[in-house]
Amino acid sequence: MPKTMIEPFRIKSVEPIKMTTREQRGKLLEEAKLNVFKLRAEDVLLDWLTDSGTGAMSSAQWAAIMLGDESYAGARSFFRLEAVIQDITGMAHFIPTHQGRAAEKVLFTAVCKKGDLVPNNCHFDTTRANLEFNGVEAVDLVIPEGLQPSLVYPFKGNIDLGRVEDTLKQHADRIPFGMITVTNNTGGGQPVSMANIRAYSQLLKKFGKPFIMDVCRFAENAMFIKMREDGYQNKTIKEICQELFSYADGAMMSAKKDGMVNIGGFIVLRSDKWLDSVREILILTEGFPTYGGLAGRDLEALAVGLVEGLDEDYLRYRLRTAEYLGEKLEAAGIGFVKPTGGHAVYIDAKTVLPDMPLDQYPAWSLCNALYLEGGIRGVEIGSVMFGKHLEDGTETYHSMELVRLAFPRRMYTQSHFDFAAEAIAEVKIKAHLVRGVRITKQSRYLRHFTAEFRWA
Ligand SMILES: *Cc1c(COP(=O)(O)O)cnc(C)c1O
């Protein structure tokens, strides 16, 4: 067989994307106050803002949509999805929610109390926010390798077991459960090894604590295990997932990721200990336990999507797309978080704009430059997102200036990635022309979504 890895699907339905001129993009960006969040999506050529709920559904999923049973209680679609989820996770109880953060809100409200502490490799931002909203301390304990962007290490999402043990010893009475996020989104979409998950689960068991997984990208994580961890080369992705879930007492998922759907989420629980209190909150905030904030057709699409997401050819291609763009960036002398993760590439803006002072926000400026050059929309993960504007008018800066390009599932082809690589390399060649920015307007929380800028 030829070596080129092709998209393992053909295209049945197309959505045109709009070409714009550089001059038009310049005007559009200025109208958006130099903030790509404020652009209209139709003015973007390659929209790599997020992989969440943005992917393409298959013909089988669209067909399943017509089978949706929209009964309020006890719908056939619920039982179909329940059987699929029980098969993959081995857990008895399935609780649908409308997306991932709703699953977090329902579970944390039912199980956590003020003053609690929850360890994780890295809490995703909504996970952290939902814990903190309940007065719970969210502690990130990823291994030190996971915090070094240019270090190549196979499982940079692993949790630091030594620090977990210390935390369990010191705060046992405050910890309602331990968590792990697969793959570690906040840490660059990096995988967690099966050995790490197994050892973590044994540690939690020793201290009598349940183990809850955040499994948004469990299939991508399983593929990394198959490719990188000894003993898994000859196992199917489903077998690897089943082993992974066997160590947990429960899990939460945003189905907008590896569920291959545009909306959806769920909680699964092994025992019925928390079930009544979880269902109570679910009915209060999401809906009846057999639909939980989703339509019957959404449940059907997810039942098909979860199975399609385990397909090895698909996953191999999926992980290869990020790696492929990484190789092209490497050749152009552009730094990025290594190795590339499952769903995104994180460009190190300081390697493209080494001379730009931090107070002109290099990663934000690179984001703008990528839009101007190629109509590409990424997201800044740097000092606009994580820096702070202090009372005395001074600014704090983030340790890294990254631009994340996150890839919707089954949506962009190899030529889109070639195009993007050319555009990014061109921005580096013309780096001296890239203009920095200054903030003209900002809010106190999550300022990156709404901040306004002018050219520096
Ligand atoms: C997306 C995501 C969530 C939240 O899910 P939503 O569907 O966006 O509410 C939680 N955890 C992780 C790791 C995620 O990537």
Q: How many CB atoms lie within 10 A of CB 180?
A: 31
Give yes or no for residue 211 having a pLDDT over 80.
yes
- Which residues have C-beta within 8 Å of that of residue 280, sequence separation ≥ 6? 110
Atom number in ligand 1 closest to CA 53: 7
- pLDDT at residue number 446: 81
Over residues 333-346, mean pLDDT = 96
Q: Confirm or reject: Cβ of 157 under 6 Å from ligand 1.
A: no
Q: Confirm or reject: Cβ of 120 under 6 Å from ligand 1.
A: no
Q: Confirm or reject: Cβ of 190 under 6 Å from ligand 1.
A: no
- Rounded Cα distance between 378 and 245, Å, is 32
User: 123: left (phi > 0), else alpha (psi -120 to 50), else beta?
Assistant: beta
Rg of the chain's alpha carbons, rounded to an integer? Answer: 22
Q: Confirm or reject: Cβ of 181 under 6 Å from ligand 1.
A: yes
Percentage above 90 pLDDT, the chain: 92
* Ligand 1 geometric centre to CA of 107 (Å): 14
Q: Are 401 and 350 in contact (CB under 8 A)?
A: yes
Q: Confirm or reject: Cβ of 126 under 6 Å from ligand 1.
A: yes
Residue ranges covered by each domain of the chain: 22-51+312-455, 59-308
**Could you report the per-residue pLDDT of 121-131, keeping only the tens digit for each?**
999 988 998 99
Q: Are 361 and 383 in contact (CB under 8 A)?
A: yes
Percentage above 70 pLDDT, the chain: 100
Q: Confirm or reject: Cβ of 101 under 6 Å from ligand 1.
A: yes
Q: Confirm or reject: Cβ of 97 under 6 Å from ligand 1.
A: no
Query: Using CA positions, which residue lies closest to atom 12 of ligand 1?
Result: 124
- pLDDT at residue number 326: 97
- Rounded Cα distance between 392 and 90, Å, is 54
Q: Confirm or reject: Cβ of 124 under 6 Å from ligand 1.
A: yes
- pLDDT at residue number 202: 98
Q: Are 334 and 428 in contact (CB under 8 A)?
A: yes
Q: Reading across the β-sheet that carries 211-214, which strands appear in turn?
A: 93-97, 265-269, 250-254, 211-214, 178-181
Q: How many CB atoms lie within 10 A of CB 42?
A: 10
pLDDT range class, residue 210, cuts 50, 70, 90: very high
- pLDDT at residue number 188: 86
**Could you report the per-residue pLDDT of 423-454, keeping only the tens digit for each?**
999 999 999 999 999 999 998 878 899 999 99
- SS3 of the chain: CCCCCCCCCCCCCCCCCCCCCHHHHHHHHHHCCCCHHHCCHHHCCEECCCCCCCCCCCHHHHHHHCCCCCCCCCCHHHHHHHHHHHHHHCCCEEEEECCHHHHHHHHHHHHCCCCCEEEECCCCHHHHHHHHHCCCEEEECECHHHHCCCCCCCCCCCECHHHHHHHHHHHHHHCCCEEEECCECCCCCECCCHHHHHHHHHHHHHCCCCEEEECCCHHHHHHHHHHHCCCCCCCCHHHHHHHHHHCCCEEEEECCCCCCCCCCEEEEECCCCCHHHHHHHHHHHCCCCCCCCCCHHHHHHHHHHHHHCCCHHHHHHHHHHHHHHHHHHHHCCCCECCCCCCCEEEEEHHHCCCCCCHHHCHHHHHHHHHHHHHCEECEEECHHHHCEECCCCCEECCCCCEEEEECCCCCCCHHHHHHHHHHHHHHHHCHHHCCCEEEEECCCCCHHHCCEEEEC
Largest CA distance in the chain: 64
Atom number in ligand 1 closest to CA 184: 13
Over residues 312-322, mean pLDDT = 97
* Ligand 1 geometric centre to CA of 118 (Å): 17
Which of 308, 46, 336 has its CA nearest to residue 190? 336
* Ligand 1 geometric centre to CA of 408 (Å): 14
Give yes or no for residue 346 having a pLDDT over 90.
yes
Pocket test for ligand 1, best of 101, 183, 294, 409 (most atoms within 8 A of CB): 101
Q: Confirm or reject: Cβ of 100 under 6 Å from ligand 1.
A: yes
User: For 18-22, 297-301, 397-401, which range has the lowest pLDDT when averaged over its residues?
Assistant: 397-401
Over residues 241-267, mean pLDDT = 98
CATH of domain 59-308: 3.40.640.10
* Ligand 1 geometric centre to CA of 124 (Å): 7
- pLDDT at residue number 445: 75
Query: What mean pLDDT value characterizes the chain?
Result: 96
- pLDDT at residue number 143: 96
189-227 as b/e, with b when 16 or more CB fall inside 10 Å?
bbbbbbebbebbbebbeeeebbbbbbbbbbbbbbbbbbe
- Which fold does the domain 22-51+312-455 belong to in CATH? Aspartate Aminotransferase, domain 1 (3.90.1150)
Q: Confirm or reject: Cβ of 94 under 6 Å from ligand 1.
A: no
- pLDDT at residue number 237: 98
- pLDDT at residue number 162: 98
Q: Confirm or reject: Cβ of 99 under 6 Å from ligand 1.
A: yes
Over residues 248-267, mean pLDDT = 98
- Rounded Cα distance between 213 and 183, Å, is 10
Q: Confirm or reject: Cβ of 52 under 6 Å from ligand 1.
A: yes
**Could you report the per-residue pLDDT of 180-203, keeping only the tens digit for each?**
999 998 888 999 999 999 999 999
**Could you report the per-residue pLDDT of 157-178, keeping only the tens digit for each?**
999 999 999 999 999 999 999 9
- pLDDT at residue number 394: 87
* Ligand 1 geometric centre to CA of 332 (Å): 32
- pLDDT at residue number 390: 85
